Amino acid sequence: MDPDYLDTALNEWDACATEEAIQIRERLGEGEVVVVTVGDEDSEAALRRCLAMGADRAIRVDGTPVDPVSTARALAGVVAAESPDLVLAGVQSSDSVQGSTGVALAELVDLPRVAVVTKVDWSGSGPATVDRELEGGLVDVVEVDTPALLTIQTGINQPRYANLRAIKQAEQVEIAVVPAETGEPGYRVWRMFTPPRGEGAELLNGSTAQVAQRIVEIVRERLA
Amino acid sequence: MSVLVVAEQLQGRVRDVTYELVSAARELGGPVAVAAIGADPASLDVAHEGVDEVVHVRVEQEEFENDVYQAALESLVAARSPDVVLLGFTVNSMGYAGAVAAKLDLGFASDVFAVARDGDSLVATRSFYGAKVHGEVEFPPGRPVLLLLRPTVWAPATAGGSPTVTDHAIAPVVSRARHKEFHEAAKGDVDISTADFLLSIGRGIGERENIAMFEELAEKLGATLAVSRPIVDAGWMTNARQVGQSGKTVKPKVYLAFGISGAVQHLAGMKTSETIIAVNTDPEAAIFDVAHYGAVADLFDVAEELAKLV
Amino acid sequence: MARNPKHDVLFEPIQIGPKTMKNRFYQIPHCNGFGSERPLSQAYFRAMKAEGGYAACCTEYCSISPESDDTHRVSARIWDDGDIRNLSIMCDMLHEHGALAACELWYGGPHAPCMESRCVPRGPSQIPSDFEYLTYAREMDKDDIREVQQLYVDAAKRARTAGFDIVYVYGSHSYLPQQFLTPYYNKRTDEYGGSFENRARFWRETIEQVKDAVGHDCAIAVRMSTDMFMGEAGTQLERDCLPFVELVDDMVDVWDINVSGISEWGEDATPSRFYPSGRMLPWQAAVKAVSKKPVLGVGRWTNPDLMVDAISSGKLDIIATCRPSISDPFLPKKIDEGRLDDIRECIGCNICISRWEIGGPPLICTQNATAGEEYRRGWHPERFEPAANADNDVLVVGAGPAGMECAMILGKRGMRRVHLVEAQDDMGGIMRWIPQLPGLGEWARVVNYRKIQIDKLRNVEFIADTKLDAQGVKEYGAEIVIVATGAYWATDGLNGATHDTIPGADASLPHVLTPEQIMVEGKEAPGERVVIVDNDGYYMGVSLAEKLATEGKTVTILTPMGHIAPYMHFTLEAPNMHRRLHSLGVEIVPYQMPTKIEAGGVTAAHVYDVDGHARTFEADATVLVTQRRSNEALFRELKDAVGLEALKAEGVEALYRIGDCEAPRLTADAIFSGHRLAREIDTENPAVPLPFKRERRVPDDVSLERDLEELRERRDREAVPA
């Protein structure tokens, strides 16, 4: 994987998590939003975008773990040290779609947690009431003790933009860098390959009536 | 390779993904045990073809709570030392799987869409870099591997197995995140980007007059009508329903495409849909490259037959 | 990326007579306003398409003699050695890119006004042109026929000398050879008129003679209209054209097949409003079925799948494009490289053609601001110089056509950061709603192309749902601020005829509506009867008329002009637009200028009625399509209220405005404006366009040379003391 072909940017789940944190701070009228990521220097661009949006402080854990459990371990030290009242994470990253780092982190710092949160109602102390949207459109309303970790789903808010001045100011902010402790990874990638073209299109044969019948079956099955 | 599947249920109904996990588990050899966790585990229908054992884990909570499932799974892993634990890559699993993996130091990967045995070890395939590449991953030796499998990849195991049934008791769990109630998500205006089922039409429908027939079909099927760019270009529909790079990116459970050839701009906006079914007269149409099911057929004939069926 | 193998057929070479085209992409003859007298503009313009992958590019219609002089319109000319020299530049540049050069030899007959040459054109019969006023030909006798055929032969030899590989004997669009074939033009009773054999004789003989003269190393192309849509009087496919193909097929190396006559040639150069891509395929396929030679044809092709389909299904051999090649000269290359989402698709607005129809000005293109600017401004559609001031951050306010184009080009020029900020929830500006007008769906490609490009540019960020005020702009943090806030339709009847508002015109009232109110806000016209006041002269008034009439309203259009939508004659949309409005029962009343608008109707005066007699048109609603005004409040506030000094104190070094916000003009002009500023963002004064190269004639007589310094001194000496 040639890094020249990779662009790094704040992914949409993390943008929503940052926005939600800033909104909570604004609602409560007090507090501090600290953003933390694990990665190399390139990942500071994402932190600076969060700072430009309005986060107060940023920490980079210097390391490049790949799997969610190692990533969670790398973050755990900072979270434990900061001991925040609420930890927000994106549900998943847009490139790897692991969907597990936040919850693994919660375990490592022993926090209650709810995943895939679409609404947060919290007064700043005591339990928070949050929504989880399940597959099929049913919403599960959950009461969670705090401090807690919530993984935030896109659509929960519209992340604010950062104007050029804020972006420029964020460029000047010093980002704290701490070393990563990752332990052994949960998996190792031993081979990567480009997806084969046209994999898997199963042809529906037979009369149009049979084709239609199969389509109805597939649709019913997938929507059930 | 002993496999433990954790059944997923909602309001007493076992979700389809559970049966898909059973099929995947069978591919790994088995024996296959399915854990049914709930207030009344015996009521959960998990005894499908290929299941060797059903493990009932009785808990106080009626509905899913992540602390409960975590405690149950940790206890099951400790007691049974399965080689592999399979969960669906679902909202519920995302609430506790990572935590169990971190706590027990398991081999772990999520959104896996292929698994294979390589001797005694396991190889799982998942996507990286926004699905631009696939990667095969392997796991630390000597400990269980926990995998979250992508739904709809495996065919569900059929009903009708005759497994043995065992009970596994766990201590009561004090949940720190408690289920309060369910309600239906609010349905907004037409928003193709959040619809579960899109019926999408393209240039192949030929005439503006034919849109009405697909509008009716969509309504009958309970689908939301979407369109590809030529339909918008022709001024037949507004771009609010346009899928693609210059329209909206969609990821429904089912994307049923009629007469869409699959221009790159279009594919960019829908190729991550969970299930793609394409009907097109042109067997060379690019949409078949990303479709899971394809029918080379007259789309009007298929549409008419579909309308008769629903 | 690589080419999709299913498009391979488009890149197979093909033999045409003695020449080989390297692929199936052919730029059909089309005008550009450059002719033979702006030879460098001509050469650079065609060569850009060769660079973009076209295997052959043609001149526009190329007059063979001063007898065929189309002035005021601009054709190419190959009359003499000077024309050979000028057109040879085009040929050489095409050859450098491995493309063939084609020349469309043209003799207009009665359609040639000869306003510059003052010659008398010759024609088959003496009937005035159906395309021009006061234009007559001399009826040809046998000697005339021999002489005119010799004009073709001599011109073909000159074309060969210039370096052309393909030479046309051009007939379609009702020009001379086709006039002989067509009873509508040919009333002769000798052996050149009457029967098919007689009507075909002139064209057959001319092809024969041109073939004899240059056919050994030039391919002979014949362009024919296979249906003039005139019934018995026009050429007909079965009766005339297929027999003609069979008659001369052996001598012809490539057929160029279209439809229509000249007076309604919008049936050939089809506006997207009325026809989709590939509308002439049935006629082209019919010729292909009887000919043994390659057949090429236009169809406003932008989609490679449809091109492949046309070839694979045996309807065409060569994909000819005119407008899509203007909109994107790199169409072949982008298909070859699998970069389909980079194709800048033609929207079929025909603004390019309008310039030829007007007569004189160089062509323009809505989608491609660089069309026609290849030589004179040195613009390349795909290459962008890094800006000298690329370390600046730019704020573009408003993501309409001008703002999108400007942000996109600034992004391609590598500006550090470009923020494109839009008050609405998506890009597009007026091009979000204009494509919702009847038939204008393809115009949405203006937005599609730019949206996809902007999305790819990492240094351009699009910010939606954000309406910036002057304070917000001031504190935004940009060094360069570009205001692109568009324009709006006047709500008070202000117009270019009376230079005043219309009493009673007040769009805050329920019975008075503007285009935006109808299309964007969903304001409903009350009642049954609607009067549309059209002082605009282009598509808006008639499009709304069509929309409202289709929705069941009784519509009357009042205009102070002699015609509704006169500009649509230039875009070739007028005939079918008139048919459509007529069939919808829309009443058109020219020469009427409203003097008062009330809830019950409109009072109007005939513009030439000296006594000022008023006429009343009963109506429940009035739609004002009188004029547009720039949305310049933000710009004015920034420049006047905040002031450039205060902006500078905040770090804003420069403030510009572009597009309709500067002056509401064509969308092509808005896009050009955004493009131009971005191209010249690092010049000394980007607000003022750099001068462009003019191919004016500089006298070559030494005695006429002038020394400017000497001239100034002389005037100073001669000046009357103050």
Nearest CA to C23 among C38, C7, C12? C12
Nearest CA to B113 among B33, B32, B14, B24? B24
The CA radius of gyration of chain C, in Å to the nearest whole number, is: 28
Instruction: Give B13 to chain C, closest Cα distance, Å.
Output: 41
Using a CB-CB distance cutoff of 8 angstroms, which residues of chain A are in contact with residue C481? Answer: none
Say whether B275 and A218 touch across the interface (CB within 8 A): yes
Residue type, B32: V
Question: What subunits touch chain C, counting only 3 or more CB pairs under 8 A?
Answer: A, B
Answer whether residue A220 shows pLDDT above 90. no
Q: What does the alpha-carbon distance between residue C333 and residue C632 come to, in Å, rounded to a whole number?
A: 41
- Confidence category of residue A198, pLDDT binned at 50, 70, 90: low
Using CB atoms, pick whichever of B234, B264, B284 lies closest to residue C341.
Answer: B264
Q: What does the alpha-carbon distance between residue C570 and residue C538 come to, in Å, rounded to a whole number?
A: 10
Q: What does the alpha-carbon distance between residue B148 and residue A115 come to, in Å, rounded to a whole number?
A: 15
Model pLDDT for residues C397-425, shown as the tens digit of each residue:
999 999 999 999 999 999 999 999 999 98
Using a CB-CB distance cutoff of 8 angstroms, which residues of chain C are in contact with residue A166? Answer: 477
Q: What does the alpha-carbon distance between residue C263 and residue C245 come to, in Å, rounded to a whole number?
A: 24
Q: What is the pLDDT of residue C206?
A: 98
Using CB atoms, pick whichever of B233, B246, B263 lies closest to residue C442.
Answer: B233
User: Quick check: C303 contacting B, CB < 8 Å?
Assistant: yes
Catalytic residue among C175, C185, C275, C538: C175
Q: Are strands C529-534 and C621-625 parallel, antiparallel or unpaired?
A: parallel
User: Of how many residues is chain A composed?
Assistant: 224
Instruction: Give A165 to chain C, closest Cα distance, Å.
Output: 4
In chain A, the residue whose alpha carbon lies closest to the alpha carbon of C461 is A161
Span B256-272, average pLDDT? 87
Instruction: Say what the ipTM of the complex is.
Output: 0.88
Q: What is the pLDDT of residue C704?
A: 61
Say whether B235 and C452 touch across the interface (CB within 8 A): no
Q: Note whether C539 and C354 are within 8 A (CB).
A: no
Say whether B233 and C305 touch across the interface (CB within 8 A): no
Best of B193, B233, B284, B287 to mutate (most C CBs within 10 Å, chain C): B233
Using CB atoms, pick whichever of C4, C6, C440 lies closest to residue B235.
Answer: C440
Q: Which two tokens stand for residue B198?
A: 């899109």
Q: Are strands B53-58 and B164-167 parallel, antiparallel or unpaired?
A: parallel
Q: What is the pLDDT of residue A197?
A: 54
In chain A, the residue whose alpha carbon lies closest to the alpha carbon of C425 is A158
Low-confidence ranges of chain C (pLDDT < 70): 700-706, 721-722
Answer whether residue B134 shows pLDDT above 90. no
Q: How many CB pairs under 8 A join B and C?
A: 46
Q: Note whether A186 and A67 are within 8 A (CB).
A: yes
Q: What is the pLDDT of residue C702?
A: 60
- Confidence category of residue A163, pLDDT binned at 50, 70, 90: very high
Q: Which two tokens stand for residue C49?
A: 């398409």
Say whether A167 and C478 touch across the interface (CB within 8 A): no
Neighbours of B24 (CB within 10 A): 23
Q: What does the alpha-carbon distance between residue A186 and residue B101 come to, in Å, rounded to a whole number?
A: 8
In chain C, the residue whose alpha carbon lies closest to the alpha carbon of B231 is C441
Lowest mean pLDDT among B13-22, B180-189, C704-713: C704-713
N-to-C CA span, chain B: 43
Answer whether residue B233 shows pLDDT above 80. no
| Choice between B276 and A197, residue whose per-residue pLDDT is larger | B276
Q: What is the pLDDT of residue A148?
A: 98
Q: What is the pLDDT of residue B232?
A: 82
| Choice between B155 and C86, residue whose per-residue pLDDT is larger | C86
Catalytic annotation on C133?
A: no
Q: What is the pLDDT of residue B151?
A: 80
Using CB atoms, pick whichever of C395, C461, C477 lies closest to residue A166.
Answer: C477
Q: What is the pLDDT of residue A196?
A: 66
Span A35-61, average pLDDT? 96
User: Quick check: A168 contacting C, CB < 8 Å?
Assistant: yes
Axis-axis angle for helices B97-104, A101-108 (nearest 10)? 50
Q: What is the pTM of this model?
A: 0.90
HEC string of C175-234 equals CHHHHHHCCCCCCCCCCCCCCHHHHHHHHHHHHHHHHHHHCCCCEEEEEEECCCCCHHHC
